[in-house]
Chains A and B, each alone.
Chain A
Amino acid sequence: MQYETVIGLEVHVQMDTQSKAFCGCSTLFGQPANTQTCPVCLGLPGVLPVLNEKFLQYAIKVALALNCKVSNYLKFDRKHYYYPDLPKNYQISQYDMPLAEHGYLEIETENSTAKKIRVLRAHMEEDAGKLIHTSQSSLVDYNRTGMCLLEIVTEPDISSAHEAYDYLTRLKSILEYLEVSDCDMEKGSLRCDANISLRPVGETKLGVKTELKNMNSFKGVRDALEYEVIRQEKALNAGELIVQETRLWDENKQKTFTMRTKEEAHDYRYFPEPDLPPFTIEDKTIETVRKELPELPAVKKERLVSEYKITEYDANVISADKYIALYFEEAAKEYKSPKTIANWLMGDIMNYIHNNQLESKKLAEILPVKYLIEMLELIDNNTISGKIAKKILPDMFTSGNTATQIITEKNLVQISDTSQIETIVDEVIQEHASVAEDFRNGTDKALMFLVGQVMKKTRGKANPQIVNDILRKKLGTT
């Protein structure tokens, strides 16, 4: 039977505020255990929460960027469950009146068509701490307790692992544009759980879903979903029933496993948080935030196409990363061919960044825009070949020197002096007389070999066009 996949994602984004959601504690990551705490986030008896206004501002930004309707009424609720990383044994969250609802994010499907993924809701809550298990005991680190979280829940509109991956990539891109989160899944500042079910094509009723947890990267989410599609498909084809359960993704085994066989019946006993009186978010507050929104990836992409005449594909790749996009625009303003910049950025530069695990944010620092432009101009005026440029680019990254400095130092300036090249060409013709003869007899390929030999002798510095011309002249084919 043919099945269709139905996926909904729940993403927890840690907002990159300076202080925690309901107290003044610092949100610095990687500090010694329990040093970023105070009586309030430790939930000591007698303390009261006070809302961090930055948190609200950031959350509204995200809600608007996801095309949500922002509520005019801000209300928090308590969600109760017992766990040692939750010092009050309730979490301040939002239940029946989330900050934002009814949004969407446009993604691209496998066959490059646009698709809207509806955002059901986005609500504000506080993070829990972390348990550290040793063989003897379990310890609690409360540094993360009380950090600002925004939970973004989609409708079950996602139809494949690819779409889920694309949704996450675009969500991350938006969050980075907004400068509200560092979106680092490994640090836990972005966490994603996925609900997935299958149903026969044409069926409108949802199938039984499983909830997938413990994915530590976007790739992990994609892999887990791909695995789960196959697992569920096999089960359904074998006439088995899918059990509604939580399954954990095992990165090493590339499989999902049942986390709990019997689903614990959770009753969170939500009720309105009496320590935080609800208040009105005025329309003008929302509009002020809206006005301050930066240009978002989708809009930027369109503008790059129309303003710099680069392809949709290029614009899509470049606009996905805020810092690459910034870099591109800065360079494109100073250099005649935006397409060339796009090619370099999407090719060697992004490869280098990726392979060396650099942050794109740092690009402009490591390779100043004017250095890149200088290098491109050296190619344009035949000082170096494109090949040499590719070769020296890593040096530019590591040494921080300009292309001119590097080629001078390494004696890589292109040889365009015809007399010098003629001498070498003569040598090569002499050394490979039979190949030269082949060319004269019409074997075009032979020319490429001879050009290669000249380049070898000049360690790639000879201007290939000039070499070509001289060879043809000498072999009497021009």
Chain B
Amino acid sequence: MDIVNKTAIELLELLEKGEITSWEIASAYLKRIESSDAKINAFVHLDPEQVLKKIKTLPEGKLKGLPIAIKDNLCVKNQLTTCASKILNGFRPPYDATVIEKLEQAGALVLGKVNMDEFAFGSSCETSCYGPTHNPWNTECAPGGSSGGSAASVAAQFTPWALGSDTGGSIRQPASLCGVVGLKPTYGRVSRYGLIAFASSLDQIGPLTHDVRDAALLLNIIAGYDKKDSTSVNIETPDYLANLNENIKGLKIGLPKEYFDVDSNPEVKQSIQQVIEILKSLGAQFKEISLPHTEYAVATYYIIAPSEASSNLARFDGVQYGLRTDNKLDKESPLIDMYLKTRGEGFGPEAKRRVILGTYALSSGYYDAYYLKALKVRTKISQDFKDAFKNVDCIITPTSPTGAFKLGERINDPLAMYLSDIFTISANLAGIPALSIPCGLTAEKLPIGLQVLGKSFDEQTLFNVAYAYQQNTDWHKKKAEI
């Protein structure tokens, strides 16, 4: 039986019927990782022996020992958790993130930690201290980022599904570039406790899966109010999987003109056009809308996100955990010198760039002009969506203006890299949920992604649209060959 090409739900059905064991499933994935991850570099911390041992200790639960790959910025008790940064070298948190607790209670098997841009700073997985992850569709290409390891591990069939985190597109953009499904839930839907923060007001944890049904199931498991996270919202979590409904007749879908004015790759534009035709044929109604402050989103994001990051990363100082410099310290001021050397050695260039950006934006005398101004624009962007959702049920756009780009192509051009997230950033600023699903391939056989944006806490509509689409197409079934 071919195990690794199945969806999580298909595997659960086989487990249910007793046609396969969780040990066989884990072994099959581990074998494939062993034989092929050298080409992809998705896993950064993996201990196959421990994984297999762990199976016996898992509680009974609806996930029945099904493996899952975890982005390296999610704390797993006593397991290396390094954010793909040298500065967290050797760090093993003494506690589990809430999502990990929930997964383990449901009987999931944590397979290992997957690669990412350092501290999630990047859109290509190239800023990792472990070297880049390669796109399974074309190993010369980037998998996208920052959850590149999560997306690539699903696309390469190293895991049935994975968890990532999304601050400005970090789940959706790699999902798009790797041809998998990726959801950024509404801000506050999933507890951030145990997610090593990049930008606290933007970060959300979400699923990367083969199809929409798996995404709905995984969100069922990880969503919900958590008293350990004051920003998680205390509202009921629906059963997304049970509520999946492919009937989208009369559903009003918005097409934001600002997104279609962008100079996207023609193949991307064409794919989205085909999506529109299919959804129309299923009874959806389309309407052009305007999100007038879209052009300020990237600028706003690159004030708010680095500002919060500069603060969140202040704790990496060599005092308690992680890297501490081995170099000789200045006798006059050893403490300051220890800070400077540790941080100088521990952070990569992109992390330094963002810390400097954020520190500058928060400095007295600049705060009002940058941070405060950015907060005001953020409110405008948020209001744009609120206004739009008075007239439409959801919005569709491309996830990324292009398919996967070559490794090395943008790494020395931060601005070009930042623009990779032009379609995804607004959802984080507005806090709304957004889903990316595969909707085509370029001539070079690289995946194209469709983004569906919805109202706050209305992930169900996004799932339903995507489900209707996947019931009538098979882009999500296309697999990378490695």
Known contacts A267-B363, A269-B363, A275-B231; is A45 also within 8 Å of B335 by CB?
no
Question: Of residues A48, A49, A78, A277, which shows the largest number of chain B Cβ atoms within 10 Å of its Cβ?
Answer: A48
Q: How far is the CA of A50 from the CA of B74 in the complex (A)?
A: 19
* B314 lies within 8 A of A271 (CB): no
Which residues of B lie under 8 Å from residue A87 when comparing CB positions? 315, 319-320
In chain A, residues 125-141, which have Cβ atoms closer than 8 Å to a Cβ of chain B? 140
Q: Does residue B68 face the partner (Cβ distance < 8 Å to A)? A: no
CB-nearest residue of chain A to B233:
A277
The reply to whether B307 and A271 form a contact with Cβ atoms under 8 Å apart is yes
Task: Give B164-213 interface residues, CB cut-off 8 Å to A.
Answer: 192-197, 199-201
Determine if A371 is an interface residue (Cβ-Cβ < 8 Å): no
- Find chain B residues with CB under 8 A from A51 CB: 230
Over the window 78-110 of chain A, the binary record of Cβ atoms lying under 8 Å from chain B Cβ atoms (1 yes, 0 no) is: 101010100111100000000000000000000
Cβ-based interface call for A43 (8 A): yes
Give A276-316 as 1s and 0s: 1 = Cβ < 8 Å from B's Cβ atoms.
11000000000000000000000000000000000000000
Q: Does B359 contact A (CB under 8 A)?
A: yes
Whether A48 and B228, one on each chain, are in contact in the complex, defined by CB atoms closer than 8 angstroms, is yes
Q: Do A45 and B75 contact each other (CB < 8 Å), given the known contacts A271-B311, A276-B230?
A: yes
Contact present for A78 and B311 (CB under 8 Å):
yes
| Closest Cβ–Cβ distance, residue A69 to chain B (whole Å) | 25
Question: Which A residues touch B362, using CB under 8 A?
Answer: 80, 269-271
List B contacts of A50 (CB < 8 A): 227-230
CB distance from B70 to the nearest CB of A (A): 12
Q: Is the CB of B314 within 8 A of A39?
A: no
Complex CA distance for A275 and B339, rounded to whole angstroms: 25
Residue of B with least CB distance to A38: B95
Question: Which of A44, A78, A80, A270 has its CB near the most chain B CB atoms (within 10 A)?
Answer: A44
Q: Which of A47, A80, A82 contacts B311 (CB 8 A)?
A: A80
- Whose C-beta in chain A lies nearest to the C-beta of B203? A274
Rounded to whole Å, the gap between the CB of B151 and the closest CB of chain A is 22
How many angstroms from the CA of A50 to the CA of B201 in the assembled complex? 15
Residues in A neighbouring B195, C-beta threshold 8 A: 46
Tell me, yes or no, whether A345 is within 8 Å of chain B by CB: no
Residues of A contacting B371 in the complex (Cβ-Cβ under 8 angstroms) = 271
A276 to B319 CA separation, bound complex (whole angstroms)? 25
Q: Judge if A412 is at the interface, Cβ distance under 8 Å.
A: no
The CA of A133 and the CA of B201, in the complex, are separated in Å by 38
Tell me if B256 is interfacial: C-beta within 8 Å of chain A: no
Known pairs A267-B363, A269-B363, A269-B364; A84 contacts B93 (CB<8 A): no
A44-B335 in contact given A39-B94, A88-B314, A274-B308 (Cβ < 8 Å): no
Distance of A271 Cα from B315 Cα, bound (Å): 16
Tell me the number of A-to-B contacts counted with CB atoms below 8 Å: 99
Closest to A273 in B: B200
**Smallest distance from the beta carbon of A265 to chain B beta carbons, Å?**
10
Residue interface mask B151-163, A partner, CB < 8 A = 1: 0000000000000
Residues in B with CB closer than 8 Å to A140 are 319
Say whether, besides A39-B95, A48-B229, A274-B200, A90 and B194 are in contact (CB < 8 Å): no
Say yes or no for B225: interface residue by CB 8 A criterion: no
Interface residue A68 (Cβ < 8 Å from any Cβ of B): no
Say whether B88 faces chain A, with CB atoms less than 8 Å apart. Answer: yes
| A44 CB contacts on chain B under 8 angstroms | 93-95, 320-321
A9 at the B interface (CB under 8 A): no
Q: How far is the CB of B372 from chain A (nearest CB, A)?
A: 9
A42 contacts partner chain B, Cβ-Cβ < 8 Å: yes
**A45 x B193 contact (CB < 8 A):** no
Is B317 among interface residues, defined by CB-CB distance under 8 A? yes
In the complex, B81 has a CB within 8 A of chain A:
yes
- Return A344 CB to nearest CB of chain B, in Å: 53
Q: Does B66 contact A (CB under 8 A)?
A: no
B317 adjacent to A89 (CB under 8 Å): yes
Select A90's contact among B229, B314, B319, B367, beta carbons within 8 Å: B314
Which residues from chain A contact B310 at a C-beta distance below 8 Å?
269
Chain B: which residue is nearest A43 at the CB level?
A: B315
Chain A residues positioned under 8 Å from B88 (CB to CB): 45
Contacts of B392 in A (CB 8 A): none
Closest to B74 in A: A46
- Distance in Å from the Cβ of A49 to the closest Cβ of chain B? 7
Q: B314 near A45 (CB under 8 angstroms)?
A: no
User: What's the Cα separation between A82 and B317 when bound, in Å?
Assistant: 9
With A and B bound together, what is the CA distance between A80 and B74 in angstroms?
25
Residues of chain B within 8 A (CB-CB) of A80 are 311, 314, 362
Nearest Cβ on chain A to B379's Cβ, whole angstroms = 13
- Can you name the residue of chain B whose Cβ is closest to the Cβ of A279? B230
- For residue B8, CB closer than 8 A to chain A, the reply is no
A contact residues around B315 at 8 Å (CB) = 43, 45, 87-89
B111 part of interface (Cβ distance < 8 Å): no
Does B93 lie within 8 Å of A39, measured CB to CB? Answer: yes
Residues in B whose Cβ lies below 8 Å from that of A269: 310-311, 359, 362-364, 367
Q: Which residues between 79 and 105 of chain B lie within 8 Å of chain A, taking CB atoms?
A: 81, 83, 88, 91, 93-95, 97
Given A78-B311, A88-B315, the answer on whether A46 and B194 have CB atoms closer than 8 Å is yes
Q: Is the CB of B307 within 8 A of A45?
A: no
User: Using a CB-CB cutoff of 8 Å, which residues 447-476 of chain A contact chain B?
Assistant: none
Assembled-state Cα–Cα distance A379/B83 (Å): 79
4 shortest A-B CB distances, which residue pairs? Answer: A89-B314, A274-B200, A269-B362, A274-B201
Can you list 29 A-B pairs, Cβ within 8 angstroms, ordered by A? A39-B94, A44-B93, A44-B94, A45-B75, A45-B83, A45-B88, A45-B91, A46-B75, A46-B97, A46-B195, A48-B193, A48-B228, A50-B230, A51-B230, A80-B314, A80-B362, A82-B314, A82-B336, A87-B320, A88-B314, A89-B317, A90-B314, A269-B311, A269-B364, A271-B307, A271-B362, A274-B201, A275-B231, A276-B230
Known contacts A46-B197, A90-B311, A267-B363; can you find 19 more A-B pairs with CB under 8 A? A43-B315, A44-B93, A44-B94, A45-B91, A45-B196, A46-B194, A46-B195, A46-B196, A48-B193, A48-B228, A49-B230, A50-B230, A51-B230, A89-B314, A90-B314, A269-B310, A269-B311, A271-B311, A275-B230
Residues of A in contact with B (beta carbons under 8 Å apart): 39, 42-51, 78, 80, 82, 84, 87-90, 140, 267, 269-271, 274-277
